[in-house]
Structure 1
Amino acid sequence: MLIGELAKKTGCDVETIRYYERERLLSAPQRSASGYRHYNAEQLGELNFILHCRSLGMSLADIRNLAAFKADHEHDCEDINLLIDQQIAKVHQQAEALRLLEQQLLALRDKCRDSHAAADCGILQTLVEAAEGEPCVCHTPFGQDNHGHSHDHDHAAKKNGRTQKGRP
């Protein structure tokens, strides 16, 4: 089958298939005299394996390791278990980061409950003030923003010679 057919069968973009070939995750297909790639059932299986692993959030390096384990039937599966345990830990970290993000967004959403003109929107005002260096409700309850910057208001105000809202 040609690359377009493979893409259609798997739901994978043609450029992504080519990328997986360049990364040597997908074995190189045979080429016709005119240079067209011709894929077989083996490459279809390889691509489906890659796509399944990607759907589980696995990195290309992890997929490469799993493919090597798949090729070596005698390899102890403890390394596979460890790889999956590491992926589970990453998912837990991502879930916690999403929970914190949700709390931040909820705090920001609480700044404007009613319909107003944009000039009177508490959310927009908070975002503008934060961009100007003022404390914001969506980061201060957690001590730091997503970039690791501390939002210690007293320290920042003293450092800048200001009290709250930029007044001396």
Structure 2
Amino acid sequence: MRISQLSRLGGVRTQTIRFYEQQGLLTSPDRQENGYRAYTEKHVRQLSFIRRCRLLDLSLPEIRQLQKQQDDPHQSCAAINTLLEDHIADVATRIDALQTLEKQLMSLRSRCNDDRQVERCGVLAEISEMDPAT
């Protein structure tokens, strides 16, 4: 199949497929005599796996690591568990940061609860006085 067909089946743009190839996540396809890439069902499976990993917010290096583990199916899955535990910890850290941001935004929003003119807007005044290092 051609890249446009793989794109439709995989639900991604052709540029994304080329990017995954460049990153080594998608096996480089054979070339036909006319120079077109010839994709197979293997590429569809690889692309589906990559997309599912991205839905889990796994990074490209994490996906690459999982693919390496897939290539040796008789080894222990301890490395996979460690990767996932690290990813879960990263997600928890980001959640904490987003909750802190939410509190800051709510506090900021409380600075201006009425219909003031912009020149007296508490939100803009607070933002102007904020320390960028915090």
TM-score by length of 1: 0.75
User: Please, which runs of 5 or more residues in structure 1 have no aligned partner?
Assistant: 134-138, 146-168
Moved over 4 A (4+): none
Offset of residue 57 of structure 1: 1.1
Residue 33 (str. 1) matches residue 22 (str. 2): no
Alignment partner, residue 50 of structure 1: 50
Return the alpha-carbon distance in structure 2 between the equivalents of residues 19 and 34 of structure 1.
Answer: 22
Quick check: which one's helix share is greater? 2
Return the alpha-carbon distance in structure 1 between the equivalents of residues 7 and 109 of structure 2.
Answer: 42
One-letter amino acid of the structure 1 residue matched with residue 19 of structure 2: Y
Deviations 1:10-55 (A, max 9, x none): 2212111101101111001122222221211100100111111111
Return the alpha-carbon distance in structure 1 between the equivalents of residues 70 and 116 of structure 2.
Answer: 59
RMSD: 1.5
Return the alpha-carbon distance in structure 2 between the equivalents of residues 72 and 91 of structure 1.
Answer: 28
Offset of residue 69 of structure 1: 0.7
Alignment partner, residue 120 of structure 2: 120
Offset of residue 80 of structure 1: 0.8
One-letter amino acid of the structure 2 residue matched with residue 116 of structure 1: R
* 1:28 alignment partner, SS class: coil
Return the alpha-carbon distance in structure 1 between the equivalents of residues 51 and 14 of structure 2.
Answer: 13
| Count of residue correspondences | 134
Matches within 5 A, 1:86-165: 86-130=86-130, 145=134
Offset of residue 65 of structure 1: 1.0
Deviations 1:48-85 (A, max 9, x none): 11111111111111111110111101110111111111
Identity %: 37
Offset of residue 117 of structure 1: 2.3
Return the alpha-carbon distance in structure 1 between the equivalents of residues 116 and 38 of structure 2.
Answer: 60
Higher Cα Rg: structure 1 or 2? 1
User: Please, which runs of 5 or more residues in structure 2 have no aligned partner?
Assistant: none
